[in-house]
Chain A
Amino acid sequence: MNSAWDRLVKKSRRPYKTVQHVEETEIMSNNKGIHSSLDENIEQIKDSFGNSGDLIIRSFRMGKPFSHKVASIYINGLTDKEILGTFIIERLMKDVNLSENDDPFSPSQLTTYIKEHILSITNVRDVPDWNKLFLSLLSGETIVLVDGWNHGFACAAQGGDLRAISEPTTESSVRGPKDSFTESLISNTAMIRRRIKSPNLWLETMELGKITQTGVGIMYMKGIVNDKLLTEVKERLSKIKVDEVQGSNTIEEWISDNIWTPWPTIFTTERPDVVAGNLLEGRVVIFVNETPTPLILPATWNQFFQTAEDYYLRWSMSSFLRLLRIFSFLITLLGPSLFIAFLSFHPELIPTPFLINLASQRQSVPFPIVIEALLMEFTFEVLREAGIRMPRPVGQAVSIVGALVLGEAAVSAGIVSSAMVIVVAATAIASFTIPHYAMTDAVRLLRFCMMILSSLLGLYGIGLGLIILVAHTCSIRSFGIPYLAPFSPFILADQKDSILRLPLPFLSERPRLINQLKTKRIEDSQTSSPENDNMKNQDSKKDSYEK
């Protein structure tokens, strides 16, 4: 009887055990060796690609006796044609004297010669079988095949059009660096390398997705990161056996501890400085090719209320801003539901003049307060979604319709009260102060649950909802770290950089994640007080001069 229940629970807890089965696709399963005849090889490649228009095969003869048939194969658009032309094709086609003694090179001699003397390109690899050949070809490398030799060369001449590094769009900062990640994995990791010049910054790459073969890089600081965490991350990644990995969200949903939760349990960012900071705290970062938002894990609830800007402002201001964000989080979560609870269940708790004011506003409103609130919140969500999806030139129309028609007109028509419009607007504005989009989304949904609870049971319902929410949040973990980490379990040392941010000299320890290797980040010799003795002396000298 109970085992059925247990099974149900287990099923819901470990979603990634049920691995999606994928039929072996023909392209990638071809593990046979490459033929030695060039014509056969070209035929095979053309066949496999269905003669695709962007597959370019350039075959020619090389060397003085013009006896060696060679072909260079690449995908149009993934290759830097200038490099390809100058350093591969031109070098190969140049009149190289390959037969000084009128004795043509054997294929193996020729290939060594090509590799060592001709291909003046930064990275050349042997590809022994079709699998590797196709993968390199599809990753933008140029394949060079030589007649009579059953290997190929993969030459690094990737190129094509990529988006340039631009300013971050969702996490802007006033004083901080203005670069943000792009879609290219390598240029993203390079941005981190520029920030952390340490050989201990390790990057492991792999391909995920049976068809998409998306490049994934795991980056961490060796010596700080906990090895258990690292093995756990790798194990979970290796369990992903799906056809497609489209962006980091696919990975996030497969590897996160608990997907039946409103909270985001993996942190994402588009700022390289945030990634660098998190790496130095002992977290693991997963870069995914073609995604400008790498995953940072483990994540704690607290993290979603911190921004990079907090570390570029004075500590007093950033502490204030953090408190402000938590406060507006509470407004977003509870604002409309408190309004409902007070007005429909506990009007006696509202000061009388205020109550009369509110009641007179609602005189002509035909709906019960709950319906009114849900209607307005729903309308706001619709407007928000419309604003995002609309083509930009039309976007203005949405704001006009939203502000004038739905706000002003609805009030004067007596459909909603203006107090309700104020509550909804305040909630909306407050929700924009939460710095991370994933967290805003979570609160947007939870707000509706709270509204329903409060419409059923008033303040008591809100209290129950909060207890459930806190208990649920306490029960989840992100890669072994309790999600509410510095608050519960309570860690005194981490309070310095959680709701408040104390001055940097006080932050001598990294936040406690499970068994990090190095917790101290400020050397003991560095005094924790920023006042420097030399400076003091200078001051006193100055004083004496003035005297």
Chain B
Amino acid sequence: MEKAKISAIQLFALMFIFDLGTALIVSYGVTAGKDDWLSILLGMSGGIILFFIYYPVYRKYPDLPLTSYIGEIFGKYIGWIFGFLYCISFLYIAARNVRDFGDLLSSSTLTETPLLVIHTSFVLVICYVLYQGIEVLGRTAEIFLFVLILLGIIGNFFVLVSGDITFQQIRPPLEHGWGPIITTAFPTITTFPFGEMFAFMMLMPYLNKTKLVKKTWLSALICSGLILSWTAFLNMTVLGLDVMERSTFPTLATIGKVSLFDFIERLDAIVVLTLLLTVFFKAAIFLYSAVIGIVDLFKLKNHQQIILPVGIILIFTSMTIASSFSEHLEEGFDASIKFVHIPFFIIIPFLMLVISFIRNYIKKRSNAK
């Protein structure tokens, strides 16, 4: 394990950017219809509930990454297998993120550039930053947090003054009752993007003040949830349900509609840059979690030696994960949620909580005897 430490602000920046990653740009809550902003808020509360499933387990092992204490909870061998599966799932989600980004870029701005070039350059930069360690990643996130806030302010300002917003688009609220909102919020939005924060269980031991975990985690979750909900709200008011359902990158479409004085128009660069930064950190955190998991499970000396090999695996996974973008998206909303997100970010953590409670109980009883 690295000796480096990150501060609470840095962890906040990482978590905040992590939550916005891809979710800010791709369309994910449309099944809730016009009320997707509401289902995002509900999903956020689901994320808060998930945190209280993760937190007690973390409190028992504040100095260990997930892959170390999962063995203590499930037993040595089963725990090792679960830990390894976690590493693979982190890598898989990282590959999905890279693919999301690569597809957006090749479909919107870099139409001529091959996907492999985009993925390779992106992953190599991630590898460079991770090679420098978690401290540098945290500090870089701190700087880019300000850049993102600035981009967000500029983007929001232009959308708001452009006059494209029609509130008619989101009325009436609860058109089809609470049913679709709740089914979208649980489990889809709860797991993506909020449940994915489980990856931070690998990074928690690097926090310099363990007491601040709860505060940081919850504030990052709530801030990002509110911003995602606000963005979904804006998108819906600008684009309307019909366009929202068909577009894969609604935020890009929203910004694209801005036109002021016939001069300020096509502000796609803001969205692309936002996506680049957020996905960069998201993929980097997943890759880092996978890498330090592997280091921990295979008892390697340091993470730097396997960054590049794992990065190359990531490049090829992201290329071969789906044959086309629509296939990739379909996998994302169906298979990925069912077979990766729900089992790994809800069921196994819940099992861990229950088992560690039972173990505690048994221990206490045997101690009492």
Residues of B within 8 A of A470 (CB): 140, 143-144
B276: Cβ under 8 A from any A Cβ: yes
A155: Cβ under 8 A from any B Cβ: no
The contact sample of 20 A-B pairs, CB cut-off 8 A, is A2-B301, A5-B305, A354-B263, A457-B121, A460-B121, A464-B121, A464-B122, A467-B144, A467-B276, A467-B277, A471-B129, A474-B132, A474-B136, A474-B139, A474-B140, A484-B143, A487-B146, A488-B139, A488-B140, A488-B143
Complex CA–CA separation, A306 to B144 (angstroms) = 22
Tell me the B95-114 residues at the A interface (CB within 8 Å): 105, 109-110, 113
B280: Cβ under 8 A from any A Cβ: yes
Tell me the A318-360 residues at the B interface (CB within 8 Å): 345-346, 348-349, 351, 353-354
B352: Cβ under 8 A from any A Cβ: no
Complex CA–CA separation, A457 to B112 (angstroms) = 10
Complex CA–CA separation, A459 to B10 (angstroms) = 27
The smallest beta-carbon distance between A151 and chain B, in angstroms, is: 55
Complex CA–CA separation, A393 to B283 (angstroms) = 59
Residue of A nearest to B101 (CB): A460
Instruction: Take A458-B110, A459-B269, A463-B276 as given contacts and tell me if A471 and B121 are in contact as well, using a CB distance cutoff of 8 Å.
Output: no
Inter-chain contact A489/B139, CB cutoff 8 Å: yes
Complex CA–CA separation, A262 to B99 (angstroms) = 33
Complex CA–CA separation, A488 to B263 (angstroms) = 36
A282: Cβ under 8 A from any B Cβ: no
Residues of A within 8 A of B280 (CB): 467
Instruction: Take A346-B269, A351-B262, A464-B121 as given contacts and tell me if A474 and B143 are in contact as well, using a CB distance cutoff of 8 Å.
Output: yes
Complex CA–CA separation, A484 to B132 (angstroms) = 15
Tell me the A442-497 residues at the B interface (CB within 8 Å): 457-461, 463-464, 467-468, 470-472, 474-475, 482, 484, 487-490
B266: Cβ under 8 A from any A Cβ: yes
Inter-chain contact A468/B128, CB cutoff 8 Å: yes
Complex CA–CA separation, A484 to B146 (angstroms) = 14
Complex CA–CA separation, A161 to B54 (angstroms) = 75
The smallest beta-carbon distance between A294 and chain B, in angstroms, is: 29
Inter-chain contact B139/A348, CB cutoff 8 Å: no
Complex CA–CA separation, A471 to B122 (angstroms) = 14
Inter-chain contact A489/B142, CB cutoff 8 Å: yes
Instruction: Take A345-B109, A457-B121, A470-B144 as given contacts and tell me if A463 and B139 are in contact as well, using a CB distance cutoff of 8 Å.
Output: no
Inter-chain contact A467/B265, CB cutoff 8 Å: no
Complex CA–CA separation, A513 to B276 (angstroms) = 33
Tell me the B242-296 residues at the A interface (CB within 8 Å): 262-266, 268-269, 272-273, 276-277, 280
Inter-chain contact A471/B305, CB cutoff 8 Å: no
The smallest beta-carbon distance between A459 and chain B, in angstroms, is: 6
Inter-chain contact A463/B273, CB cutoff 8 Å: yes
Complex CA–CA separation, A2 to B308 (angstroms) = 12
Instruction: Take A5-B305, A346-B109, A474-B139 as given contacts and tell me if A460 and B118 are in contact as well, using a CB distance cutoff of 8 Å.
Output: yes
Inter-chain contact B266/A460, CB cutoff 8 Å: no
Instruction: Take A460-B276, A488-B140, A489-B142 as given contacts and tell me if A467 and B269 are in contact as well, using a CB distance cutoff of 8 Å.
Output: no
Complex CA–CA separation, A348 to B109 (angstroms) = 9
Q: Which 10 A-B pairs have the closest CB atoms?
A: A474-B139, A488-B142, A488-B139, A471-B129, A2-B305, A475-B132, A475-B136, A463-B276, A471-B140, A349-B266
Residues of B within 8 A of A487 (CB): 142-143, 146
A351-B265, A460-B121, A467-B140 given; name 12 further pairs at CB < 8 Å.
A2-B305, A345-B109, A346-B109, A349-B269, A463-B277, A464-B276, A467-B276, A474-B132, A475-B139, A487-B142, A489-B139, A490-B142
Complex CA–CA separation, A488 to B297 (angstroms) = 32
Residues of A within 8 A of B10 (CB): 488-489
